[in-house]
Structure 1
Amino acid sequence: MNENLNNPSFNVQKLQEALFVSKIKCYRAFKEVLQQSPSDVIIKLRLQKAEYLLKNHTLNISEISMECGFNDPKYFSRLFKKNFECSPKEYRARIMKV
């Protein structure tokens, strides 16, 4: 999964094809083990990668969103804010102060 995080077309269907399992089996396995849907896990991993890039690289927000597999920087910013309770720009500013 980590190898495909920067690929915007990587989704649950591609994941289940790579794992050679049905959609239902994939969903059940993720829910049983991680208590999250496969799509939620993919988004979480992408946002964790974005967090790392915000901390350790000088890429701008649009470049980071593309690097993490999001085609739309606005959508990326909304998801980031929902998960981290601040925008990517605010997050980077907080990190730089520390």
Structure 2
Amino acid sequence: MAGSNSAQVLLLYRRILKAAKLFPSVKRGAILDDIKHQFREHKALSDPAQVKHELGVALRSLGELEQYARMSGTGSSELAVSLKGSCD
């Protein structure tokens, strides 16, 4: 994404990786690898329309990852289920 502000792209990349590390999934490693691959694959983009599209995809993905991290409560990497009531 050479045509865009590289400092902003780097910040977005770091935020996505941080959110993905908190994502409650057994496939977390594969998700992190895919994120890294996608950014590397698109780092040479120069068409402004393509850059804008890919940044939009990245921002939406960040929002989704952050929502899942908030759903997990404290931001821990594992979700906990608690059943209340009688099991008699």
| Shorter-chain TM-score above 0.5 | no
Give the greater-gyration-radius structure (CA).
2
Q: Point out which structure has higher relative CO (alpha carbons under 8 A, 6+ apart).
A: 2
**Structure with more helix by fraction:** 1
TM-score tier, shorter chain, comes to 0.3 to 0.5
